[in-house]
A and B are shown apart, each in its own frame.
Chain A
């Protein structure tokens, strides 16, 4: 297997590296073309600075991105087939950028569902003939996403992505069991650049559960791009959980478009990264479309998390709900920025956005910035934001029932996040609760004196 390595401590020469990358990948023409367009954008656009509103509280100026190497391992033939686990419809696993297993239930392949590795899909002469029809859809979704791109991370991703997955569900196919996408990152001073595309045709339905995990140590920059298109009367539930180590940095930019009477339920659970920047930008393109954006974030130690949501209403009678909840501990800092944007023609819009934070100790910080930008009168829009401490009366109530302080606090936080967690498949629920538990108990273990009262 050949690899393309950008040597460490060498100026990141994007053009040259990408030329080599594109050459090695032997991709279809349109993909190479799109990469070069993105590269042109990358070259003229600097990294985001604190002059820009979205990045005012999240400083990336200390990064020297040239210190990290981009490695790519071209796949030879189809990725290794793996059996689809019980209670799931499909699964794909990546380890440090390489697809190590992919499986889709036979029934679904039979019904025309495409679920494949990006390299396999885009490689000339490598992808199956039936995948060709997916190309056009993917290109369209990527171009739509790129049209809304406004920063260098997004261009970096599109120019330099090395792996990822595409899910295409034809009209009327309803998938009941979840499809799992797992990314696992290890190594040091590495950059990982995946892309995920999910395209649901008219009347299709699916649940996709994505997890981004990694080795306990090692500095990895993970820069992900997710593009979603939900067709007319189609319904997608997409839950993503990120738990990279505290040396890692996470950048995730997602965009979605929802057609008439379609719906998207989107969940982000953010735990990892010394810096984690998330943005999900969603356009309600069709009349009667419905979007729910839910977020759970719990930074601790000296983590910095920045989350942004955009509910962009472009069609009448659409409804969107954003509900982001965070807890902050130790020296952690979180930033949530939410925007409801209603175009002039989007009459009878019903949009709501709420952000709640529980700050667990002095020294932790949560910024909450909801914004409305409404260009029509005929709407119902509101936003709310609350940031406070753990409720003392609740704590007392639990203690009076025998709960020790750490366990009382844990139970209250589990309850706080429950309305988001309970949407996850059961095995992920356990993992999420375990992460919350560990973060609460860590404070009590490291400093026994910090117990309340």
Chain B
């Protein structure tokens, strides 16, 4: 699967957020997308999945040459796209098992999802994610802690087996153990038929994921791209370097978080 984002522009309530994003992701590759708050990272993720609050004002998104902006959200998912939500939604009354079984039938095909086999697979995935088996019968995300919700997103990804995933700040708010588990989840998906964009604020998850490419987003555009060396430069010189190089301004909270992140390593 090849995902091509071409000159994508989008707005919310008349305010432009994406101002011409260009990005191509080939299968078998993991891309990291970094950048400060408000740079448009999460908007990009939401627009890729057709979130109703955003209006696309230009450009196109091609999956194997087909423009998915014309498609409904569920059709994009059925194509094999997966979004790990920054803020996973609570769905009271719907158990994890029931939700994922039906979702798997829809995206993988009913013949691929058989009762006993499916539950066995789900149990294995829970174990892999370090989650209690009791989660199968809990209502989806209802009363879950922040970390549990993030693990649940990755569990869903492992179970639904998408061809392409966007992880929207799945690492934020996680302690180091949870972070490692989430990264392991993504690494397990890794292979010649899987591509991903990992949206993150911080470099630390990239120590575990080792992306093939790194992009920095600012002002609704991707302003620079590179390989692992870009993370290394960031790590060594910080966003201060980006400020000098590209005029990126961070808010106080981000600066503090970044400083903290640098010191922690």
Which A residues are closer than 8 A to B by beta carbons? Answer: 392-394, 396-405, 407-408, 411-412, 414-419, 452-453
B133-155 vs A, CB cutoff 8 Å, 1 = contact: the mask equals 00000010000000000000000
Q: How many residue pairs, one in A and one in B, have C-beta atoms under 8 Å apart?
A: 80
Contact partner of A418 (CB less than 8 A), chosen from B85, B88, B93, is B93
Report the minimal beta-carbon distance from B146 to chain A, rounded to whole angstroms: 16
B91 contacts A397, CB within 8 Å? Answer: yes
A403 contacts B91, CB within 8 Å? Answer: no
A453–B99 Cα distance when bound, in Å, is 22
13 A-B pairs in the complex with CB atoms less than 8 angstroms apart: A393-B89, A394-B89, A396-B89, A397-B88, A397-B91, A398-B91, A399-B50, A400-B85, A402-B107, A404-B74, A412-B91, A415-B92, A415-B139
Given known A-B contacts A403-B103, A418-B94, A453-B52, A397 and B89 have beta carbons under 8 A apart: yes
A401–B102 Cα distance when bound, in Å, is 10
B82-119 vs A, CB cutoff 8 Å, 1 = contact: the mask equals 01010011111110000100110011000000000000
| Interface residue? B239 (CB, 8 A) | no
**Which residues from A are CB-within-8-Å of B89?**
393-394, 396-397
| Interface residue? B72 (CB, 8 A) | yes
Report the minimal beta-carbon distance from B21 to chain A, rounded to whole angstroms: 19
Which B residues are closer than 8 A to A by beta carbons? Answer: 49-52, 72-74, 76-78, 83, 85, 88-94, 99, 102-103, 106-107, 139, 156, 160
A402–B107 Cα distance when bound, in Å, is 6
A414 contacts B93, CB within 8 Å? Answer: yes
* Interface residues of A, dominant DSSP: helix
A453 contacts B93, CB within 8 Å? Answer: no
**Which residues from B are CB-within-8-Å of A393?**
89
**Which residues from A are CB-within-8-Å of B76?**
400
Report the minimal beta-carbon distance from B158 to chain A, rounded to whole angstroms: 13
A404–B160 Cα distance when bound, in Å, is 16
Closest to B140 in A: A415
Given known A-B contacts A393-B89, A411-B99, A453-B52, A400 and B77 have beta carbons under 8 A apart: yes
B107 contacts A396, CB within 8 Å? Answer: no
A43–B156 Cα distance when bound, in Å, is 65
**Which residues from B are CB-within-8-Å of A400?**
49, 73-74, 76-77, 83, 85
**Which residues from A are CB-within-8-Å of B91?**
394, 397-398, 411-412, 415
**Which residues from A are CB-within-8-Å of B156?**
401
**Which residues from B are CB-within-8-Å of A401?**
77, 99, 103, 106-107, 156, 160
**Which residues from A are CB-within-8-Å of B77?**
399-402
Closest to B100 in A: A401
The 9 closest A-B pairs by CB, nearest first: A415-B93, A418-B93, A402-B77, A399-B73, A397-B89, A415-B94, A402-B106, A402-B107, A401-B103
A417–B73 Cα distance when bound, in Å, is 25
A411–B100 Cα distance when bound, in Å, is 12
Given known A-B contacts A403-B74, A405-B74, A416 and B93 have beta carbons under 8 A apart: yes
**Which residues from B are CB-within-8-Å of A403?**
74, 102-103, 106
A396 contacts B102, CB within 8 Å? Answer: no
**Which residues from B are CB-within-8-Å of A411?**
91, 94, 99, 102
B51 contacts A396, CB within 8 Å? Answer: yes
> Which of A407, A408, A411, A452 has the largest number of chain B CB atoms within 10 A?
A411
A392–B89 Cα distance when bound, in Å, is 10
B74 contacts A392, CB within 8 Å? Answer: no
> Which of A394, A403, A405 has the largest number of chain B CB atoms within 10 A?
A403
Contact partner of A414 (CB less than 8 A), chosen from B49, B83, B94, is B94
B73 contacts A453, CB within 8 Å? Answer: yes
**Which residues from B are CB-within-8-Å of A417?**
93
Report the minimal beta-carbon distance from B101 to chain A, rounded to whole angstroms: 11
**Which residues from B are CB-within-8-Å of A414?**
93-94
For the A-B complex with A393-B89, A401-B103, A412-B91 known, give 16 more contacts whose Cβ atoms are closer than 8 Å.
A396-B49, A396-B52, A396-B89, A397-B85, A397-B89, A399-B50, A399-B74, A399-B77, A400-B85, A401-B99, A403-B102, A411-B94, A412-B94, A418-B93, A419-B93, A452-B52
A417–B93 Cα distance when bound, in Å, is 7
**Which residues from B are CB-within-8-Å of A412?**
91, 94
Report the minimal beta-carbon distance from B63 to chain A, rounded to whole angstroms: 15
Contact partner of A402 (CB less than 8 A), chosen from B85, B93, B103, B139, is B103
A154–B85 Cα distance when bound, in Å, is 54
Report the minimal beta-carbon distance from A197 to chain B, rounded to whole angstroms: 34
A408 contacts B93, CB within 8 Å? Answer: no
A286–B77 Cα distance when bound, in Å, is 56
**Which residues from B are CB-within-8-Å of A408?**
74
A194–B76 Cα distance when bound, in Å, is 54
Report the minimal beta-carbon distance from A441 to chain B, rounded to whole angstroms: 15
A402 contacts B74, CB within 8 Å? Answer: yes
A228–B209 Cα distance when bound, in Å, is 64
> Which of A399, A401, A416, A418 has the largest number of chain B CB atoms within 10 A?
A401
Closest to B48 in A: A400
Report the minimal beta-carbon distance from B99 to chain A, rounded to whole angstroms: 7
Closest to A419 in B: B93
Closest to A452 in B: B52
Closest to A451 in B: B72
**Which residues from B are CB-within-8-Å of A419?**
92-93
Contact partner of A405 (CB less than 8 A), chosen from B51, B72, B103, B107, is B72
A404–B102 Cα distance when bound, in Å, is 11
Closest to A394 in B: B89
Report the minimal beta-carbon distance from B84 to chain A, rounded to whole angstroms: 10
**Which residues from A are CB-within-8-Å of B139?**
415, 418
**Which residues from B are CB-within-8-Å of A407?**
102, 106
Report the minimal beta-carbon distance from A403 to chain B, rounded to whole angstroms: 6
Closest to B92 in A: A415
A392 contacts B103, CB within 8 Å? Answer: no
> Which of B89, B93, B94, B106 has the largest number of chain A CB atoms within 10 A?
B93
A405–B75 Cα distance when bound, in Å, is 10
Report the minimal beta-carbon distance from A354 to chain B, rounded to whole angstroms: 14
A180–B83 Cα distance when bound, in Å, is 47
**Which residues from A are CB-within-8-Å of B99?**
401, 411
A394–B103 Cα distance when bound, in Å, is 14
Report the minimal beta-carbon distance from A230 to chain B, rounded to whole angstroms: 29
A407–B75 Cα distance when bound, in Å, is 13
B93 contacts A396, CB within 8 Å? Answer: no
Report the minimal beta-carbon distance from A172 to chain B, rounded to whole angstroms: 34
**Which residues from B are CB-within-8-Å of A399?**
50, 72-74, 77
A398–B83 Cα distance when bound, in Å, is 11
Closest to A417 in B: B93
